[in-house]
Chain A
């Protein structure tokens, strides 16, 4: 187990800047999510930590060692690939034991550790199967067992759950978190699924165009996004005002004290309340609009309200939404502390 530090890492492919001066700390034993849209550099960053590419500039430390010049096979990492990359000509046990055989731990030790790793991922009886005889979820567990059986210093996961269907994905998230806690390994994973990142991570990093635009605990990043991109990428955000713009004219909006002309203002859809008439309670921020659409999705209701040519999204428990029809004038209100000040705009 070890901490990881990435320092001013830059990597270009031709004219394309895949990573641009990226710095981030991954403390020992934590679970870290790297997220961003495709082409943002998240996978490149993971592959740089693994050692699959040479850096143009910058340094990478795993534990006490600077490793940017160390080849992949000497970095003592565990990695799980999106496609799982199980060796098709080998049994499950041989797949899991591959890294042990490379390290020549001896037959008895090898058998014992393969057994332990397979038990950990609850596949104790599957050692003799071939990869093509397993389901997607089982293959994923084998890939995980293979990645951790060598006691790597850091576990790297590239879109680990994206090939699974939704129900299985949620199960595997819980499973992954359990295993990571149990062995306490520093884990860095890449995902484009923001919910997955929020659910699993102790700390997330958001990348855009090769730059690390914000890193921190998920709740903190969610509540205090550094810019509009981060606000809209992580969850949803109704932008009330862009930097230098004006606030909606109708209604009352209490400005947070930290707001300046250069900052943007936003409110999360789930923090807004809908009412048919103007709310009378003191201290609320509020504005009116026309209900454009109301969508019932089981537990939650989603309402789109049009005002000043923009659409505001409100999400609430369906039973908390008043009896209103599309085309009605409605009021949206929220507590002033739910107005997010976005300093970077």
Chain B
């Protein structure tokens, strides 16, 4: 009887959490399909805001730029992060523990602070704002995620397999390619998807580092809201959410946050 009450309470609690998490998103997604520009009810299904999006060259360009930046960021962060994870796994060197610990705080430091610091830094070295600065900033943000996910997968890897491959005559590169990489591939895919999500959803750092002419999609949305809200923003936001959630779902499936497949 007591247990039943708890079960029911638990379900209500879980439901409340889901409502809390998803209600605003759902309403926004619904409104992006509502014909009225002023959120008037009754709901009248329409794809006019999505059509308007297609006609909006500014948004299209920003979306394309965001995707390109995310792809470049993902490539660089995944390659660097995987290499770093393997090095951290395979070699003992002075300061290894310190380095491992230093890799975590960037995840916790508020992006506002990171963004400010990067802006100051890029001006300090004479590089200034622009797409290259945005990419470097995104790589710096995404790298710890890749390292964490790939390292978690590597923790389940039996290093004796590398010894066995070497004893059979395989040099370091072949050991990595034929034995280590196949094992950690799910972790690399998950890490890459995380990196893509971090970059594609990034607002603060992008806002600080991008030039007014070449904003990324989140930056453009922010600027657009300041000028006045239109349901087009609902439409583009809905697209971003669907893409991001898909990426995260695939990442979670591949990594299970680092465990077995």
Q: Which residues of A contact B (CB under 8 A)?
A: 50, 52, 71-74, 76-79, 81, 83, 85-89, 98-99, 102-103, 146-147, 150, 156
Contacts and interface: CB of A to CB of B under 8 A. Distances in A.
A156 B170 CA distance: 17
Interface string B155-199: 000101101111111110010001100110000000000000000
6 contacts: A79-B163, A83-B160, A86-B164, A88-B183, A98-B170, A156-B167
A72 B167 contact: yes
The bracket for how many chain B residues form the interface is 10 to 19
Contacts of B160: 81, 83, 85
Contact of B174 (A71, A85, A86, A102): A102
Contact of B167 (A79, A86, A89, A103): A79
B168 A150 contact: yes
A73 B166 contact: yes
Given A79-B164, A99-B168, A102-B170, A89 B182 contact: yes
Contacts of A150: 168-169
A80 to B, nearest CB: 9
Contacts of B179: 87
Given A72-B163, A79-B163, A85-B164, 19 more contacts: A73-B166, A73-B170, A73-B171, A77-B167, A78-B167, A79-B164, A85-B163, A86-B164, A87-B161, A88-B183, A89-B183, A98-B170, A99-B168, A102-B168, A102-B170, A102-B174, A146-B164, A146-B168, A150-B168
Contacts of B174: 102
A72 B170 CA distance: 9
A99 B170 CA distance: 7
Nearest to A94: B178
Given A88-B183, A89-B182, A81 B168 contact: no
Interface string B202-246: 000000000000000000000000000000000000000000000
A102 B183 contact: no
A16 to B, nearest CB: 15
Contacts of B178: 98
B104 to A, nearest CB: 28
B169 A85 contact: no
Contacts of A98: 165, 168, 170, 178
B93 to A, nearest CB: 15
Contacts of A85: 158, 160-161, 163-164
Contacts of A87: 161, 164-165, 179
Contacts of A102: 168-170, 174
Taking each of A72, A103, A146, which has the highest tally of chain B beta carbons within 10 Å of its own beta carbon? A72
B171 to A, nearest CB: 5
Taking each of B161, B164, B171, B182, which has the highest tally of chain A beta carbons within 10 Å of its own beta carbon? B164
Nearest to B174: A102
A79 B174 CA distance: 18
Contacts of A89: 182-183
B161 A99 contact: no
Taking each of B165, B167, B169, B178, which has the highest tally of chain A beta carbons within 10 Å of its own beta carbon? B167
- 3 pairs of A and B residues whose beta carbons are closest in the complex: A99-B168, A85-B164, A79-B167
A181 B18 CA distance: 69
A146 B161 CA distance: 13
Contacts of A71: 166
A102 B172 CA distance: 12
A99 B163 contact: no
A103 B174 CA distance: 12
B200 to A, nearest CB: 31
Contacts of A99: 168-169
A98 B169 CA distance: 9
A83 B169 CA distance: 19
Interface in B133-170: 158, 160-161, 163-170
Contacts of B170: 73, 98, 102
A223 B221 CA distance: 88
Contacts of B161: 85, 87-88
Contacts of A79: 163-164, 167
A99 B178 CA distance: 12
Nearest to B179: A87
B183 to A, nearest CB: 7
